[in-house]
Structure 1
Amino acid sequence: MNAIDEKLQPILSTVLHRNAGETEFHQAVQEVLESLGRVISKHPEYAEEALIERICEPERQIIFRVPWVDDNNDVQINRGFRVQFNSALGPYKGGLRFHPSVNVGIIKFLGFEQTFKNALTGMPIGGGKGGSDFNPRGRSDREIMRFCQSFMVELHRHVGEYTDVPAGDIGVGGREIGYMFGMYKRLTNRYEAGVLTGKGLSYGGSRARTEATGFGTVYFVERMLATTGTSFEGKRCVVSGSGNVAIYAMQKVMSFGGTVVACSDSDGYIVDENGIDLALVKEIKEVRRGRISEYAELKGDGVHYVKGGSIWDVPCEVALPCATQNELTGADAKTLVENGVIAVGEGANMPSTPDAVHVFQKAKVLFAPGKAANAGGVATSALEMQQNASRDSWSFAKTEERLAQIIHSIHDACAETADEYGAPGDYVLGANITGFVRVAEAMRALGVV
Structure 2
Amino acid sequence: MSPQPATLSPAAPPAAMSPGLTVLVLAMLMGVQPITTDLYLPALPALSESLGASMSQAQLTLTALLLAFGLSQMVWGPLSDRFGRRPILLLGLSTYMVAAIGSTFASSMEQLILWRIAQGVAMGAGVMCARAIVRDLYAPAEGARVMSKGLTGLGIIACAAAPTGGLLADHFGWRVALLPLTVFSAATLALVIWRFHETLPQKNLQALQPRNLVRAWAGILRHPTFWAFSLLSTASFGGLFTFLASSSFIFIKVLGLSTTVYGLLMFSMSLSYIAGTFLCRRLLAAFGVRRTVAIAGACSLFAGTSMGVLALLGVQNTWAIMLPVYLYMVGHGVHQPCGQSGAVGPFPKTAGAASALSGFMMMATAFAMGIWLGSSMAAAASAGGNVLPLTNGMWFWSVVLSLTAWTLVQRHGKSSAAPERLITQDAPPLA
Normalised-by-shorter TM-score class = under 0.3
Q: Looking at both structures, which has the greater relative contact order when contacts are Cα pairs under 8 Å and sequence separation is at least 6?
A: 2
TM-score normalised by L of structure 1: 0.25
TM-score normalised by L of structure 2: 0.26
